[in-house]
Amino acid sequence: MRVGILGGTGPLGRGLAARLAAAGDEVVLGSRDAARAEDLAAELVGAWPGRDLAVTGADNEGAAACDLVVMATPWDAAVPTVKPLAAALSGKVVVSVANALVKQGREMQALVPARGSVAAAVAAALPGSLVAAAGHHLPAAELADLDASLGSDVLVCSDHPEATAATVDLLGRIPGLRPLDAGSLASAAPIEAFTAVLITVNIRYKAHSSLRLTGLEAAP
């Protein structure tokens, strides 16, 4: 699968790219500046010699041309980034990982974006796409370190069952991640907002906790 990442040059995009490429996907880091994305993709591949990671760089248009596209810009850049790409993204699964947060002292606080969540705003801007939301609680630094083992649940939500299935399939290929179907895109608001709580806990405890739900072991 060719996976494009809009705003893929940031820590989250590069970390996710490393994991997806290690799992066998081809990844295109998208950017407003194709040369910057090419440099960062080459740096990523060079950091893991012998792993044969298929990561390249392009502008965001190049990333949008992939089979499945992840939206990984800052939250307030999400709609301005996807809107001009609506035609290229039509009919495709688009996964929003963005969280609308603001730092206040020693804690992170959740903002309420238009339509209640970044993912809902992205879905409204992309009526022809199958928008899902996922990956909000994944720590970029751990993703980027391919020697670190992951142990996180990933809540996935969408109004399109095929987008949920494709996102669960994609993230489930990364060892240590357990993607879970968390319902319709209405779940994106609490999922995104909970990231503020998680980061605040991490600040208070100087930790790198992520999400793990209990009681699901016997679930089919």
Element containing residue 19 per DSSP (H, E): helix 11-22
Measured in degrees and rounded to the nearest 5, phi and psi for residue 4 equal: -100, 145
Size, binding site for ligand NAP by CB under 6 A: 24
User: Using CB under 6 A, which of 56, 81, 129, 164 touches ligand NAP?
Assistant: 81
Q: Which of 3, 98, 108, 121 binds ligand NAP (CB under 6 A)?
A: 98
Angle, helices 118-125 vs 188-205, to 10°: value is 140
Cα dihedral sign for 134, 140, 145, 151? negative
Whether the CB-CB separation of 96 and 159 falls below 8 Å is answered with no
Q: Is 33 in the site for ligand NAP (CB under 6 A)?
A: yes
Nearest-approach distance from CB 74 to ligand NAP, in angstroms? 5
Closest to ligand NAP by CB, 11 vs 161, is 11
Task: Please write down the HEC assignment for all residues of 161-203.
Answer: HHHHHHHHHHHHCCCCEEEEECCCHHHHHHHHHHHHHHHHHHH
Q: Does 117 bind ligand NAP (CB under 6 A)?
A: no
User: Minimum CB separation from ligand NAP for residue 42, in Å?
Assistant: 14
Q: How far is the CB of 220 from ligand NAP (least distance, A)?
A: 28
Binding mask 3-32 for ligand NAP (x = CB under 6 A): ----x-xxxxx-----------------xx
Residues that bind ligand NAP (CB under 6 A): 7, 9-13, 31-33, 36, 72-75, 77, 81, 97-99, 135-136, 138-140
